[in-house]
């Protein structure tokens, strides 16, 4: 037995004598002119039964109903033809007065003619063309499809609420049955078939008279309940030169390594942990783990970002929408951004990669950065031990990578929450410095907060006689985030975490300040700006000043980034060296066809001059073919002008690219052929198949959509596939084929990856769609099998009416209902404007006795055709 509960908005009847008829000239609302629209906001369906009247290309729309749909703060009084309220975060006042023929938004008057307005006993109506001038939405009516496509011109309350709900889902446990997300288990297997990415490149370089042959091979799989990743790279003559391999596993709930409660561990080619004083993070063959929460960091600790970068790819790093750096060529098959500063609060980190075939892929990470405090009683450990700069398999054992290559580096860092506002920290390390001398270090300190300011204090001592003391503070005031760090050094203490460390010039002290703020842009926009300033004093009396500034904004649909870098070195009895350089970058998707990028590098001090300029243009002629064009200019003594050109072919099993470039002054030229493909194990056919590259560097999903006739959630023989489901969230959007299947790659390496499924275009009616959002844990080589069943349903249709004092019954809008089913999650619905409510569930329904006496419900049962 189920129960239908209702709450009526404005639930008192209005006497007939008090009802005001539409003034002469307002458009009458006739039943024969009724239109039922489907309403979407930024592509997502809000309702499928939204009432309008009149011309389908510019219909009269109910103001109050639309405001409720979007969550806007507006009150409608149809009897007097008026609506009042406020819009946006700035609370801009809004007034609509049909009697006066005027709408006023934030002090700006908009005339309303009689032909643009109408009213009913429950709402007032305005033409769509007029309403979009008042509300912060653009309205695009489609008369043929009876569709109202809404586009928000600013963040709407309904969007903000959805974003808050999305963030809360990451931190809270939701009640069973109320989560609109389909969660797919991604457990580690004892062994799984590997996903393999292969890149082959050959070409000719006239300058060196060299025919190049290079390859990159990446593999990833589950092995021994852990994730395995491997890499094999060659030199330009096709000889193997670099091998990496690693086994790792993560657990956000801290269930690894038994009583240690680790959240992540790795063995093989790994990196040591980050510290705030002493040794830096360096890779080698070894082992590492952490018990600290994933996705959290301390504002006093700069981070290092590393990832795979295939041949021909470039990468850019954005932190809080500010371009912080870039890398144009892979080093040992990957990218690396060192010493990246963060600010307190949520830090949005975007890694944007540009491929040789016009690809653009963006991975986003969100780090919650605080002062590093732990809750009382919480104890965390970060540990790593490696044979420095030595891989598990060393193909060049005689090659000298660094002076300390092959030496042991061990780092352990611990933290304990003493009080809510005080955390104790300690660390120990055994490591070689840049000259190969062994160092042993211990440090102790505390992190805390006082009056909203995060504080850090730490003392370090090495057994060679060196010592260091560090103080830090981080605060926010007036929209400015700032972090200050000051460190004092004595007796040649080796601090590799400081970018100004020089093994031949011992540091005496350093002071660094990082700030992030925004300045007004054009219109309502804000331009984020980050600044860094640092001063180092050396034991020999010399000093070094560093300064950087970065800003990024969108101007005329073009993403623009600019930066300045300053350095000033002074030494006793030597001339002062001073440099100031800058860069400017712009990118735009012109006419949604051309991907344009331009970069300029220049010097200001000691002499103003251009260094380099480049521009590239990529055009996808179709889903399979594309072009790449480029030009670059190098200035100065080695001045030259270079042109690039090429074409690429996207195939279901890989990509093929032919590129070339020519330098006009030196008359040097290069031509290259690149092939990239992947090999995966299809979980549905259970056999290996060729695929696009990318499955070995990030997670993937194999989706199967079908009509689940028996409701068991599994694909059985005879159940029809569902083609036409659009899946987004990966490297590119894909659509389920005639078999109801699609492969989504490029999900990244993250504990929470989301895929959005849009089933509006499927050729199936009267089915209950699964949740639109699919959540899974993505990791390299993992191909999640996603079962996406559509359940056939019957319908329950209810029409609620209000009995007026004169005995007339009229439909009631804005009634919120909850269909409570025994042993199953509730179904939520609301009545549309004077219309029925449709609940997709084959159940028996009764009206609760708590409903008001004047409310009656007509329940219609029956199978849909």
Residue-wise pLDDT tens digits, 69-124: 887 877 777 777 888 777 765 556 678 888 778 887 765 678 999 889 998 877 89
Q: How far is CA 641 from the centre of its chain?
A: 38
Which residues sit opposite 632 in a β-bridge? 614, 642
Indicate if the pLDDT at residue 547 is higher than 90.
Answer: yes
Residue 2: pLDDT above 70?
A: no
Mean pLDDT, residues 484-496:
93
**What local confidence, expressed as pLDDT, does residue 554 receive?**
77
Which domains are delineated in the chain?
A: 18-162 (no CATH), 181-232+656-792 (2.60.40.10), 796-860 (no CATH)
Give backbone dihedrals phi and psi of 666, rounded to 5 degrees, phi first.
-85, -15
* Mean pLDDT (the chain, rounded): 82
The larger pLDDT score, comparing residue 284 to residue 854, is at 284
Residue 505 has pLDDT above 80, yes or no: yes
| pLDDT above 50 for 393 | yes
Give mean pLDDT, residues 243-268. 92
| Higher pLDDT, residue 561 or 175 | 561
Q: Tell me the mean pLDDT in the region 380-386.
A: 96
Query: Can you tell me the distance from the alpha carbon of 697 to that of 682, in angstroms, rounded to the nearest whole number?
Result: 17
The answer, yes or no, to whether residue 599 has pLDDT greater than 90, is yes
Q: 34-41 and 147-152: which strand pairing? A: parallel
Q: How many residues does the chain have?
A: 865
Comparing 229 with 143, the larger pLDDT belongs to 229
pLDDT greater than 50 at residue 248: yes
Looking at residue 685, its pLDDT comes to: 87
* pLDDT higher than threshold 90 for residue 545: yes
In percent, how much of the chain has pLDDT > 70?
84
Q: Of 593 and 277, which is predicted with more confidence?
A: 277
Tokens for 287, please give them: 């082992």
CA 38, CA 199: separation in Å to the nearest integer? 47
Q: Between these two residues, 740 and 373, which has the higher pLDDT value?
A: 740
Taking a C-beta distance cutoff of 8 angstroms, is the pair 626, 655 a contact?
A: no
Confidence class for position 383, pLDDT limits 50, 70, 90: very high
* Helix, strand or coil, per DSSP, at residue 31: helix
How do beta strands 360-370 and 296-298 pair? parallel
What is the predicted pLDDT for the residue at 293?
Answer: 86
Residues 664-685 have a mean pLDDT of 91
pLDDT band at 832 (very low <50, low <70, confident <90, very high): low
Query: Is 361's pLDDT higher than 50?
Result: yes
User: Which has the minimum average pLDDT: 124-128, 215-219, 759-763?
Assistant: 759-763
- Tokens for 547, please give them: 């300064």
Q: Which ranges in 532-597 belong to alpha helices (H)?
A: none
Q: Please, what's the b/e burial string for 738-757 (b: 16 or more CB within 10 A of its CB; e: otherwise)? A: eebbbbbbbbbbbbebebeb
Please name the residues in contact with 288: beta carbons below 8 A apart, sequence gap of 6 or more: 265, 266, 267, 270, 271, 272, 273, 382, 383, 384, 385, 386
Query: Per-residue pLDDT tens for 701-752?
Result: 999 999 988 878 888 888 999 999 989 888 778 899 999 999 998 888 877 7
CB distance 74 to 93 below 8 Å: no
Find the helix packing angle between 157-169 and 63-70, rounded to 10°: 20
Spatial contact of 705 and 785, defined as CB atoms under 8 Å apart: no
Q: Are 459 and 444 in contact (CB under 8 A)?
A: yes
Q: What are 288-346's pLDDT values in tens digits? A: 999 998 877 777 777 888 888 887 788 888 887 788 888 877 877 788 888 788 877 76
pLDDT of amino acid 801 = 65
Q: In sequence order, what are the residues at sequence separation of 6 or more whose Cβ sits closer than 8 angstroms to the Cβ of residue 201?
A: 212, 213, 214, 215, 311, 312, 672, 673, 674, 675
- Cα–Cα distance for residue pair 199/800, rounded to 1 Å: 64
Residue 193 DSSP label? P
Question: Among 577, 518, 513, 598, which Cα is nearest to 548's?
Answer: 513
Q: What percent of the chain is predicted at pLDDT more than 90?
A: 38
771-815 per-position pLDDT tens digit: 888 888 888 999 999 999 998 876 556 666 666 677 776 666 556
Q: Give first-to-last CA distance, the chain, whole Å.
A: 25
Rounded (5°) CA angle 324-328-330:
110
Task: Please state the rounded mean pLDDT for residues 829-841.
Answer: 50
> What is the structure's pLDDT at 861?
39
What is the pLDDT confidence band of residue 431, given thresholds at 50, 70 and 90? very high
**Residue-level pLDDT at 601:** 95
Condensed to tens digits (0 to 9), the pLDDT of residues 113-162 reads 988 999 887 789 999 999 999 998 999 998 888 889 998 888 787 776 66
């Amino acid at each position: 037995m189920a129960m239908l509960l209702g709450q009526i908005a404005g639930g008192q009847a209005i006497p007939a004598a008090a009802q005001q008829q539409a003034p002469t000239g307002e458009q009458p609302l006739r039943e024969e002119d009724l239109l039922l629209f489907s309403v979407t906001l930024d592509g997502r369906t809000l309702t499928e039964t939204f009432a309008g009247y009149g011309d389908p290309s510019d219909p009269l729309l109910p103001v109050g109903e639309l405001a409720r749909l979007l969550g806007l703060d507006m009150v409608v009084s149809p009897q007097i033809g008026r609506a009042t309220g406020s819009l946006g975060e700035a609370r801009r006042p809004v007034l609509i007065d049909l009697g006066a023929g005027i709408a006023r938004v934030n002090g700006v008057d908009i005339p309303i003619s009689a032909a643009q307005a109408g009213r009913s006993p429950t709402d007032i109506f305005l033409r769509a063309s007029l309403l979009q001038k008042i509300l912060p939405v653009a309205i695009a009516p489609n008369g043929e499809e009876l569709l109202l496509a809404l586009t928000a011109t600013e963040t709407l309350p309904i969007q903000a609420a959805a974003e808050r709900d999305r963030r809360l889902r990451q931190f809270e446990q939701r009640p069973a049955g109320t989560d609109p997300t389909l969660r797919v288990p991604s457990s580690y297997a004892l062994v799984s078939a590997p996903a393999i990415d292969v890149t082959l490149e050959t070409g000719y370089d006239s300058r060196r008279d060299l025919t190049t042959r290079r390859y990159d091979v990446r593999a990833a799989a589950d092995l021994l309940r852990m994730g395995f990743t491997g890499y094999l790279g060659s030199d330009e003559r096709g000889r193997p030169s670099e091998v990496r391999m690693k086994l790792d596993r993560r657990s956000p709930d801290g269930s690894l390594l038994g009583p240690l409660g680790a959240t992540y561990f790795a063995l093989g080619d790994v990196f040591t942990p980050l510290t705030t004083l002493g040794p830096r993070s360096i890779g080698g063959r070894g082992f590492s783990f952490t018990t600290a929460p994933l996705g959290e960091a301390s504002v006093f600790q700069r981070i290092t970002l590393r990832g795979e970068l295939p041949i021909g790819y470039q990468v850019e790093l954005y932190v809080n929408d500010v371009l912080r750096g870039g890398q144009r060529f892979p080093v040992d098959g990957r990218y690396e951004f060192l010493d990246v500063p963060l600010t307190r609060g949520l830090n949005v980190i975007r890694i944007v990669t540009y491929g040789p075939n016009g690809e653009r892929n963006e991975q986003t990470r969100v780090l919650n950065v605080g002062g590093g405090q732990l809750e009382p009683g919480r104890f965390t450990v970060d540990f790593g031990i490696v044979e420095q700069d030595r891989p598990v398999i060393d193909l060049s054992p005689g090659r000298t990578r660094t002076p300390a290559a092959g030496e042991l580096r061990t780092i352990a860092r611990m933290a304990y929450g003493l009080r809510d506002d005080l955390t104790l920290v300690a660390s120990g390390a055994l490591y070689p410095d840049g000259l190969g001398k062994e160092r042993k270090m211990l440090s102790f300190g505390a992190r805390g907060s006082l009056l909203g300011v995060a504080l850090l204090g730490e003392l370090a001592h090495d057994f060679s006689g060196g010592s260091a003391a560090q103080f830090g503070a981080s605060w926010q005031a007036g929209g400015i985030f700032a972090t200050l760090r000051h460190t004092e050094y004595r007796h040649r203490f080796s601090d590799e975490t400081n970018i100004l460390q020089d093994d031949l010039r011992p540091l005496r002290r350093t002071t660094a300040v990082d700030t992030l703020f925004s300045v007004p842009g054009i219109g309502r926009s804000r331009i984020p700006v980050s600044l860094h300033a640092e001063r180092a004093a050396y034991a020999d009396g010399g000093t070094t000043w560093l300064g950087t500034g970065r800003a990024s904004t969108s101007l005329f649909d073009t993403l623009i980034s600019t930066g300045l870098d300053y350095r000033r070195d002074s030494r006793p009895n030597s001339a002062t060296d001073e440099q100031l350089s800058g860069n400017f970058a712009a990118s735009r998707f012109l006419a949604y066809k051309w991907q344009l990028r331009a970069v300029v590098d220049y010097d200001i001090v000691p002499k103003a001059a251009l260094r380099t300029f480049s521009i590239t243009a990529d055009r996808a002629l179709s889903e399979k073919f594309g072009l790449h064009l480029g030009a670059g200019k190098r200035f100065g003594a080695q001045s030259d002008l270079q042109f690039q050109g090429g074409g690429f072919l996207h195939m279901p099993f890989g990509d093929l690219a032919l590129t070339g470039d020519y330098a006009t002054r030196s008359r040097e030229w290069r031509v290259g052929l690149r092939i990239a493909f992947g090999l995966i194990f299809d979980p549905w056919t259970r056999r290996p198949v060729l695929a696009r590259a990318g499955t070995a560097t990030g997670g993937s999903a194999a989706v199967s959509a079908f009509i689940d006739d028996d409701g068991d959630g599994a694909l059985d023989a005879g159940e029809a596939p569902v083609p036409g489901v659009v899946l987004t969230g990966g490297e590119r959007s894909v659509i389920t084929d005639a078999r109801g299947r699609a492969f989504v790659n490029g999900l990244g390496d993250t504990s929470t990856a989301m895929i959005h499924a849009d089933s509006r275009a499927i050729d199936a009616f009267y089915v209950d769609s699964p949740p639109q959002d699919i959540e899974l844990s993505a990791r390299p080589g993992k191909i999640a099998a996603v079962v996406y069943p559509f359940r056939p349903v019957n319908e329950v249709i209810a029409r609620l009416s209000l009995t007026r004092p004169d005995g007339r019954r009229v439909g009631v809008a804005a009634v919120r209902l909850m269909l409570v089913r025994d042993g199953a999650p509730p179904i939520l619905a609301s009545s549309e404007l004077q219309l029925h409510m449709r609940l997709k569930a084959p159940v028996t329904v009764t009206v609760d006795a708590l409903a008001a006496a004047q409310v009656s419900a007509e329940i219609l049962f029956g199978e849909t055709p």
